[in-house]
Structure 1
Amino acid sequence: MTARLIRRTTATRSRTAVVGALAVAGALLLSGCGDQTKNDKKDSGSAADSAPLADKLPQAIRDAGVIKVGSDIAYAPVEFKDKSGKTVGIDPDLADAMGKQLGVRFEFENGTFDTLLTGLRSKRYDIAMSAMTDTKDRQEGVDSDTGKKVGEGVDFVDYFTAGVSIYTRKGDDQSIKTWDDLCGKKVVVQRGTVSHDLAKEQAEKCPKGETLSIEAFDNDQQAQTRLRAGGADAGSSDFPVAAYAVKTSGGGKDFELVGEQVEAAPYGIAVAKSNTQLRDALKAALDAVIEDGSYGKVIAKWGVEAGAVDEATINGGK
């Protein structure tokens, strides 16, 4: 299954997905390389003594042996729970590889996507890693809906490139190919994502009498359930997530992708602006796993090679 990426004129704001022709064959069905939840105690403590980049971390994190990660763990294949309850996916696998460089364990804590930056600001988490798009609004702490300052912004360490897709019930695409085709219909999305933003922008463009109805949920699985049950005409999410749902839901019988991907943008790990030492340590760790091939293995494992980057970037979002 492939899809060609096109560029919309709207500004990218939130979570987005893989750019280009992305293969979603058997690799998407593989499990992650291990649980990254707090029950997994490996790579902590004395591991920092031998890790090549341990000295780049803030001393408090080195002493703790843990980086606390805020994440919406319901976004397969980026991060999700497998059948045994373990946290798996692209982000946990990359975190595991980075942890070996830094000598610490990345401890994923579940939260709804639209509260992750609040948790980061309150120091509940050290970082947020959850298929989060690096945007200027987030860098500057601006609410994308109101344009108002809502708090201190964050820095991003960008590690992936990505776009957004529309999907429908299989065999019932209702001639939907573009966002304009959603006018007069109902779409389900995850709250606080780029899909949500694009849907709201599209609703403002729809002609009178062809209202676009939007139903937003705390997570993408809830949106999929609503669409599967016939409660909406279409859904929208990051391309790898939509593609994974198409491949796996109902054994591939529930959904189909329609139209083309839009809104290419980087995924970034969010870090408090005051924590530049941690930010720079994460960048160094990402560059190291890209260089040693660990990054490429993770990306290939999940079938998302088209979104790979050659180096980590700080605040590359527009």
Structure 2
Amino acid sequence: MKIMKLITFATLALSCHAALAAGETLRVGADLTYPPFQFRDSSGKPAGFEIDITNAVCQAMQVKCEYVVSSFDAEIPSLLAKKVDFISPLGATEKRRKSIAFSDFIYHIPTKLVARKGSNLLPDATVLQGKRIAVQQGSIQEMYANKYWATKGVDIVMYPDQDVIYQDLASGRLDGALSPAVAVTYGFLNKPEGKDFALVGPEVRDDVLFSIGSAYGMRKEDEKTRKLLNEGLAKIIADGSWEKVKQHYFGDIDMKVHQPEQAHAAQ
């Protein structure tokens, strides 16, 4: 009897949670200048890998997603000011964990240096001295470059979005850029203007600054949203929706976060 009562109570609790969530609108902080992860389609609507994943999560949890567009470096301040309920996936770094909470990991992509072919540049401060290297404002790439490269004579140039970085690379105003490798590949290298550029050197890693994966960001006290997103994410991974969206944008590239206890790593 005790076991049956516990089961009944658990079922009612889950039903109440679902009823509470169904039909709600969640405001999502987004930066639509980051193809193929986030961008505007031909009709001006939010599109991209992260947008499609987020829409699938919200659909799985029967809530509506409403995108609030801002620059990347304004997303966390907007979240803390309660202008949005959660923000699009970003690296769950130690520094960011001090101010916000994270969902379970969604994907991982390496950080690499992109430079003109034949430039002989490498992601090494001694090689990059005197060179103009771009980073996106508020990104983990900016934190890395400022910590390890700017202090050794590398000219770090901050940009509000990736599109402008690509334009200045193509025009010769930059020597290189430190960026997420997949975003550069599909947002620049695969286009005519990026034909003379390539990802150079090994993956740039730092156990303190970088996270092993990207996750949704939410306010620390908002346990309800965190649980809701985790449940939705688990559902779309289990039913194959996550893999379907990933295949659409990136084919067979492995973007899963590989670790023993994924569910607890980003918390």
Q: Is the contact made by 1:190 and 1:216 (CA closer than 8 Å) also made in structure 2?
A: yes
The one-letter code sitting in structure 2 at the alignment partner of 1:91 is E
Q: Is the contact made by 2:113 and 2:178 (CA closer than 8 Å) also made in structure 1?
A: yes
Partner of 1:123: 82
Q: TM-score, normalised by structure 1?
A: 0.70
1:136 aligns with 2:65: no
TM-aligned CA distance change 1:312 to 1:103, over 3 Å? farther
Partner of 2:27: 68
2:236 counterpart SS class: helix
* Between structures 1 and 2, the one with greater helix share: 2
Partner of 2:10: none
Q: Aligned pairs, how many?
A: 245
Partner of 1:34: none
Q: How many Å apart are 1:288 and its aligned residue? A: 0.8
TM-aligned CA distance change 1:55 to 1:97, over 3 Å? farther
Larger radius of gyration: 2
Q: How many Å apart are 1:218 and its aligned residue? A: 0.6
Partner of 1:308: 256
After TM superposition, the structure 1 stretch with the greater mean CA deviation from structure 2, 153-162 or 223-232, is 153-162
CA distance in 2, matches of 1:159, 1:273: 18
Partner of 2:216: 269
Partner of 2:159: 217
CA distance in 2, matches of 1:306, 1:217: 28
Matches within 5 A, 1:140-289: 140-141=98-99, 153-169=100-116, 171=117, 173-180=118-125, 181-204=127-150, 206=152, 211-250=153-192, 252-263=194-205, 265-289=212-236
Q: Is the contact made by 1:127 and 1:272 (CA closer than 8 Å) also made in structure 2?
A: yes
Q: Is the contact made by 1:158 and 1:315 (CA closer than 8 Å) also made in structure 2?
A: yes
CA distance in 2, matches of 1:315, 1:71: 23
Q: Is the contact made by 1:161 and 1:266 (CA closer than 8 Å) also made in structure 2?
A: yes
TM-aligned CA distance change 1:204 to 1:213, over 3 Å? closer
Q: How many Å apart are 1:182 and its aligned residue? A: 1.5
TM-aligned CA distance change 1:204 to 1:100, over 3 Å? closer
After TM superposition, the structure 1 stretch with the greater mean CA deviation from structure 2, 220-229 or 281-290, is 220-229
Partner of 1:56: 17
Gaps of 5+ in 2: 1-13, 206-210
TM-aligned CA distance change 1:55 to 1:134, over 3 Å? farther
Q: Is the contact made by 2:112 and 2:123 (CA closer than 8 Å) also made in structure 1?
A: no
Q: Is the contact made by 2:34 and 2:187 (CA closer than 8 Å) also made in structure 1?
A: no
CA distance in 1, matches of 2:194, 2:95: 37
Q: How many Å apart are 1:177 and its aligned residue? A: 2.3
Identical positions, percent: 23
